[in-house]
């Protein structure tokens, strides 16, 4: 996965990506990062990249020209096939909310470009020209797009094969199946009077998996009822099959034709 970030603060992106698991993945060549300083591509002699908005209003707006020229510089560095337009993600509170499904979708790309805005945003004309995905990380406003870009790159990176030491981690955590992750425990078996659930010490993998699903369902129901409702719609419980009542065997008298039992009884009396 190749990340390209257009930003006014490249050092913030670089410091964020050069830590922990992501840095190891970059050293191994699994991930790569190129930052492009938007200010380097302005034609304004004082290196300004912003100006007042038409129609008035508070704050300044990043101009179209430096952003577009930065984008052209990124295209020259891309590894994607000729003629294929790369995905350009613009971090904005006006976009659709980022989630695990979007992370999985973007993780399938070979190249991803992130555009980080500042001030009051970016001239709409260049956004219409280059952006393919408007994405928000939540219903709140930040000072810039760098932190949202880092959040998305982190979530996407851990889905790339080889980034995590244990690839199973990426498939068993919260949201992967639409549920929150089950509670987990490590040594010691007892801490401050609290013990690890016995079932996790049993060694019975089937029962452990069943317990984990039950815990995930309960935790999701309590903490994220919206996710729980969606999951239950997609996985409706299978109704239990009604057991058939066994037919009661008829007695000898019940099997006789009407009146036969009575006659039989009278005959028995006569015999006596």
Domain ranges of the chain: 2-157, 173-237
Q: Is the pLDDT of residue 181 over 50?
A: yes
The top-level CATH class assigned to 173-237 is mainly alpha
> For the chain, where are the alpha helices, taking DSSP H only?
10-17, 20-27, 64-77, 100-106, 124-130, 146-157, 169-172, 205-223, 225-234, 252-255, 260-271
113 and 79 Cβ atoms separated by less than 8 Å = no
Q: How far is CA 34 from the centre of its chain?
A: 25
* Architecture (CATH level 2) of domain 2-157: 3-Layer(aba) Sandwich (3.40)
96 and 31 Cβ atoms separated by less than 8 Å = no
Render pLDDT for 239-272 as a digit per residue (tens, 0 to 9).
877 767 666 665 555 555 555 555 555 554 444 4
Q: Is the pLDDT of residue 235 over 60?
A: yes
**From residue 262, how far is each of 10, 155, 204, 258 by CA, in Å?**
104, 85, 63, 8
Residue 23: what pLDDT? 96
First to last CA, the chain: 101
**pLDDT over 90 for what percent of the chain?**
76
74 and 128 Cβ atoms separated by less than 8 Å = no
Q: Is the pLDDT of residue 18 over 80?
A: yes
> 72: cis peptide before it, omega within 30°?
no
Render pLDDT for 102-160 as a digit per residue (tens, 0 to 9).
999 999 999 999 999 998 999 999 999 999 999 999 999 999 999 999 999 999 999 99
Residue 256: what pLDDT? 57
d(CA 5, CA 113): 6
Closest to 70 in 3D by CA, of 140, 142, 131: 131
Mean pLDDT calculated for residue range 204-221:
95
Residue 170: what pLDDT? 57
d(CA 122, CA 50): 9
d(CA 72, CA 77): 9
* 142 phi-psi bin (left φ>0, alpha ψ -120 to 50, beta other): beta
Full DSSP string of 223-243: H-HHHHHHHHHHSPPPPPPPP
Render pLDDT for 37-95 as a digit per residue (tens, 0 to 9).
999 999 999 999 999 999 988 889 999 999 999 999 999 998 655 678 899 999 999 99
Closest to 106 in 3D by CA, of 31, 58, 157: 157
Would 2-157 and 173-237 be classified into the same CATH topology?
Answer: no
């Amino acid at each position: 996965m190749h990340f390209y970030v257009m930003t006014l603060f490249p050092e913030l992106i670089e410091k964020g990506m050069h830590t922990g698991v992501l840095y190891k993945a970059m050293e191994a060549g699994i991930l790569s990062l190129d930052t492009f300083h938007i200010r380097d591509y302005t034609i304004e002699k004082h290196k300004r990249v912003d100006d007042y908005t038409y129609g008035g209003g508070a704050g300044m707006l990043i101009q179209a020209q430096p952003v577009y020229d930065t984008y052209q510089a990124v295209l020259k560095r891309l590894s994607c096939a000729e003629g294929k337009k790369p995905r350009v993600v613009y971090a904005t509170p006006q976009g659709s909310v980022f989630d695990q499904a979007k992370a999985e979708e973007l993780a399938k790309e070979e190249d991803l470009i992130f555009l980080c805005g500042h001030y009051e945003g970016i001239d709409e004309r260049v956004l219409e020209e280059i952006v393919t995905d408007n994405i928000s990380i939540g219903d709140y406003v930040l000072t810039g797009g760098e932190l949202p870009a880092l959040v998305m790159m982190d979530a996407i990176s851990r889905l790339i094969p080889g980034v995590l030491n244990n690839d199973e981690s990426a498939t068993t955590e919260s949201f992967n199946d639409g549920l929150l992750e089950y509670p987990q425990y490590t040594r010691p078996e007892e801490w401050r009077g609290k013990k690890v659930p016995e079932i996790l010490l049993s060694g019975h993998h089937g029962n452990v998996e069943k317990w984990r699903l039950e815990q995930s369902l309960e935790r999701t129901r309590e903490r994220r009822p919206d996710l729980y409702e969606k999951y239950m719609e997609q996985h409706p419980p299978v109704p239990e099959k009604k057991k058939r009542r066994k037919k009661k065997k008829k007695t000898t008298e019940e099997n006789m034709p009407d009146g036969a039992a009575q006659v039989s009884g009278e005959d028995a009396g006569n015999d006596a």
